[in-house]
Structure 1
C-alpha cells in the first residue's frame, strides 16, 4: 500500500475491483493509516467536472442522479438531494453542501466517483493523471480559518 492508500482505492474503483477496494480499506483499518482523506473529494470534483459540461443545469444533474439511482435495487438508500447537491457544489454552487453531514458527503462522493469512473473508462495514463491531480488538490487545500 502506498502512502496515500485512498489513491489506491480510486484506482481499484476505476477497475471495478471491489475485492481490491475492500482489501485496501481493511488494510487502512488495520494500519490506521488513512492518508489524506481530501484525495477522495479532489478526485470527486475532478471527475464531476470532466463528466458534466460547463452549461450543465440543475435539471441535467437531477436527471443523471435519477438514472443512476434507478440502476440500483437499494436506490432508496442513495440520497438524491445530497447527490444532486454535491455534484452541483463541485460545478460551482458550494453553498449546497452546507447542511450535508460530513459522513454522508463522503459516502455520496465515493459512490458518485465510482459511478463516474466506471462510465468514463479511463486509460491507465488518464487514471494516473486524475489521481495525481486529486493528490495535488488535497495537498493544497487549506480549510477556512476560524479566526
Structure 2
C-alpha cells in the first residue's frame, strides 16, 4: 500500500465526520428553530437563518488558536502603563527564547483554525443554505 493512500483515507474520513456532524447540527438547529418559531410566532425561515448565522460565527470564534502576539490591555489608564506593557513583552520574548519559536510568524498566528471546530462552521452554512434554498 502506498503511503499517500493512507493519507487520502484519513482526509476522506475527516471530511465524512465533518459532514455527519454538520447534519447533526442541521437537525438540531431545525428542531430549535421549529420550537422558537412555534413558541414566539416568527417564521421558520427567519429563525433558521439566525440560528445558522449564530452557529457560523460561533464556529469561527471557537476555532481560533495559536500564540498571542504579546499585547494586552491590563495596564490601560494607569500611570505605569508603558512599564507593564514592556514587562509583558519581555516575558513573551523570554518565553519564545526558551521554547522553540518559529521565525515565520504565520506558523504561530492567532487565527489558525482547528479542524475539529470546523463542524460548527459547516453546520452553520448548512443551516443557512437549508433555510434559503428549501424553506
The TM tier, using the shorter chain, reads: under 0.3
TM, length-normalised to structure 2: 0.25
Q: Which has the larger radius of gyration?
A: 2
Bigger relative contact order, structure 1 or 2 (CA pairs below 8 A, ≥6 apart): 2
